[in-house]
Chain A
């Protein structure tokens, strides 16, 4: 990667990190990722954050709800998401940056859907085309 490209990538990472946050992310360990597999309890397509509540069995098999915090829809759309991408009851794997306290939750990194598609939430792709105006 050229020096200029590296600088651009760093800037884009800073922007992407700050863009969605309506709060501080200092309580999140950005150096770690955790992948959890479970069933979607609820997926909310909304501002300022979309979110997933994912039911994941603990070591004894009891369901634990993990809160997964996501970018707002305009970013997710650029990553290929739609409101219908997740439905209650879908079985998916989610990779996240965990909360440092060990509580079940974190910041969304990517999802592997039941059909094998992998989507991130960084919003790095181009904006989708808009319907033609009359």
Chain B
């Protein structure tokens, strides 16, 4: 009896071991090296980039370099956006603040994240540029490796959007789309919808000390035509960015965001 049990147990182990061997036999193919920082992707031959944005940049401010993306003269909004714009103007006339979602810790999103007057660290590789704003440590990724925009039915919308860049002479042209269309503003009372499309023409000027971006903003759900702006940043060599988080208890101590002057 004992011998028959031992044989049965040995047979069971043999079968299990065999099953393991069989399961290990087919090896899945190695994943394609499509990631921006995959070694094979980085190693592909490419033309040398005309400039390198790596460094820390601070929006310059000034009368001809506003941190705002105000509507241009003669602008026309869609009816849906006009409701917000009118409400914002009413709030302003009453010394109130209309839907200051950034103050409530929602991400600033493109384009405002670029001009928060907090430094932005940029790291450029042949295949990708990473931008980290010190403001809430917001991450922006610009792919340079030739990939197209993602399938609209698959891409995850974000406040900074999906950015694809390509070099045109001495200019980096960046096409960004697939934005989150709620709690996202271009200016006070000007909503950015999920249909917003941003084109940036980026140049490095003044011996690499000035970054200039020409903006073209379209959003058929919010306004008619194309809104254009030019913004400039200066290279800062004496500042690193730090961890900056909008924590749940922050606004309990911020009179500007907790006061009755806020129109939600």
Contact = CB atoms under 8 A, between A and B. Distances in A.
Interface of A: 10-11, 14-15, 18-19, 21-29, 44, 47-49, 51, 53, 67-69, 72, 74, 99-101, 103, 105-107, 127
Contacts of B97: 23-24, 26-27
A106 B135 contact: no
Contacts of A107: 255-256
A15 B259 CA distance: 24
Contacts of A24: 97, 100, 103, 188, 256
B255 A67 contact: yes
Contacts, number: 95
B43 interface: no
A27 B244 CA distance: 24
B254 A69 contact: yes
Contacts of A74: 239, 242
Interface of B: 61-63, 67, 92, 95-97, 100, 102-104, 117-118, 135-136, 188, 238-239, 242-246, 250, 253-262
B244 A48 contact: yes
Nearest to B118: A19
B96 A26 contact: yes
B254 A51 contact: yes
20 contacts: A11-B63, A14-B61, A19-B118, A23-B100, A24-B103, A24-B188, A26-B92, A27-B95, A27-B96, A27-B256, A28-B255, A48-B136, A48-B246, A49-B250, A67-B255, A69-B256, A74-B242, A99-B259, A100-B261, A103-B259
A101 B92 contact: no
A23 B117 contact: no
Contact of A47 (B96, B104, B243): B243
B93 to A, nearest CB: 11
A108 to B, nearest CB: 10
Given A18-B61, A48-B246, A105-B255, A26 B95 contact: yes
B52 to A, nearest CB: 24
Contacts of A29: 95
A100 B258 contact: no
Contacts of A51: 253-254
B258 A67 contact: yes
A109 B176 CA distance: 40
Contacts of A100: 95, 261
Contacts of B61: 11, 14-15, 18
Contacts of B92: 26
Contacts of B104: 23
B100 A47 contact: no
A48 B258 CA distance: 16
Given A14-B61, A19-B118, A99 B242 contact: no
A44 B103 CA distance: 18
Contacts of A53: 253
A78 B255 CA distance: 24
A68 B102 CA distance: 19
A103 B118 contact: no
B116 to A, nearest CB: 8
Contact of B117 (A18, A47, A69): A18
B262 A22 contact: no
Contacts of B256: 21, 23-25, 27-28, 69, 99, 107
Contacts of A44: 253
Contacts of B243: 47
A5 B221 CA distance: 44
